[in-house]
Chains A and B, each alone.
Chain A
Amino acid sequence: MNIVQGLKYSNGHEWVRVEGNQATIGVTDFAQSQLGDVVFVELPEDDIIVRAGDGFSVIESVKAVSDIYAPVSGKIVKVTIELTDISELDDLMDADAYERFVAEGGH
């Protein structure tokens, strides 16, 4: 399990990285492993106002639908990843695989 130093974490298993007046929000590695195979993510639209504790996004595994709660209040300024095909994620590396990839020469 990967717990990154320097981030803030909510008890709902969201992480927050603050830079200036902007916060980047994500779901922890632990929460993803608890959910099981993630098959769908519904992200919020730009410019909506959220309050801390609002369910503003949804993540779905094969069996479960879970809300992602805003760990802090603010306006959504940018949704950075638009996941249209979740299966594309299967083609990408996790941190361990990437570490091996680099160790083997990185190509």
Chain B
Amino acid sequence: MTAKQTPLYQTHLKYGGKIVEFGGWLLPVQYSGIKAEHEAVRTKAGLFDVSHMGEVTVKGSDALKFLQKLVTNDVAKLADNQVLYTPMCYPNGGTVDDLLIYKENIREYLLVVNAANTDKDWKWIQENATSFDVTLANISDQVAQLALQGPLADKILAKLTTAPLEQLKYYWFWPEIEVAGKKVLLSRTGYTGEDGFELYCVPEEAAELWEAIMAAGTGDGLIPAGLGCRDTLRFEAGFPLYGHELAKNISPIEAGIALFVKLDKGEFNGRDALSKIKAEGAAHKIVGFEMTDRGVARAEYPVLVNGRNVGRVTTGSYAPSLDKNLGLALIDAEYAKVGQQICIEIRGKSVLAQVIGKPFYKREGKE
């Protein structure tokens, strides 16, 4: 399968993006540099192309009933124009994907899934829908998505719309407003740990929308931001990435996001298995750690305690906002306490680290 280009591919080349393949897509890993882009998103603003994300619509009289069965969080709690983050599990409790659900009304929902999982999810969603009165559509190719993230995102976007942005609260959306003269779905969401917006538009208008936002924000320090800093930003903010902290064999409970599993909402895929894991305690847990000795942990490096393998690193990196080498690891629950000494095996050598709390970074004023 050849990797796909987003509608912004030429734009990335124009802005000096260094293109890599990710989840079947050709996207920029960086433009000016991961550290500079990371810093811009934390202190000013960054603009991301996230058009690779998949979108599925669920419509019909059984839409809510179906989604309640499909995902672990409680979709019934959503008001119109509200967004929900939720894992989606297999009956054995393993994770199919994690996604956002946008509720337009009781009969119409939009699901936004991970790019690398779109085909798998689409198949899974269809298989699960057979006994429900719902109409499904995979509209991934008809939607482009930009993410404007950072403390100045609000100020920059306000130059391009008459909509009262201060009224759009975190995890709420407007299904159709105008930004720079283009019709967009606008949500106050993101994957960076900062304030920010995600804008969904038709692919044909994505490049013009990008240029309009860049023009409005350059004076405030807005720069284009690539996948590299998207990963370091989400990692510091403690957000799991599917394929790393969440997977077919890692349940949301083990991943430490049990908060998004509502066992009391009624029957759903994985409920029995997840109830059991919760009652008995997860055998493995995702923990945060800091390298106390010199070295950078990377995904898949073994984790050792007293020379014995107790797990593996799921994400490891230099963390630009903390100026430390940090990581997330899936390890035996008995070693998951903050303060526990562990070793990361780096190229055959045991390097000291210590379990620390998550998230590593929390923006000011955010509880």
> A residues bordering B, Cβ < 8 Å?
36-37, 39-40, 42, 58, 60-63, 65, 84, 87
Contact = CB atoms under 8 A, between A and B. Distances in A.
Nearest to A58: B347
Interface residues of B, number: 18
A62 B323 contact: no
Contacts of A84: 294
Contact of A63 (B228, B294, B347): B228
A58 B294 CA distance: 13
Contacts of B325: 39-40
A60 B30 CA distance: 16
A40 B228 contact: no
9 contacts: A36-B228, A40-B294, A40-B295, A40-B296, A62-B317, A62-B320, A63-B29, A63-B228, A65-B296
B318 to A, nearest CB: 4
A39 B296 contact: yes
Contacts of A65: 296, 298
A62 B318 contact: yes
B60 to A, nearest CB: 43
A61 B35 CA distance: 10
Contact of B34 (A42, A58, A63, A87): A63
B226 to A, nearest CB: 10
Q: Is the interface of B mostly helix, strand, loop or mixed?
A: mixed
B228 A39 contact: no
B33 A60 contact: no
Nearest to B30: A36
A42 to B, nearest CB: 8
Interface in B297-349: 298, 317-318, 320, 323, 325, 347
Interface in B39-70: none
Contacts of B231: 63
A65 B228 CA distance: 14
B118 interface: no
B31 to A, nearest CB: 11
A39 B318 contact: yes
B296 A60 contact: yes
B347 to A, nearest CB: 7
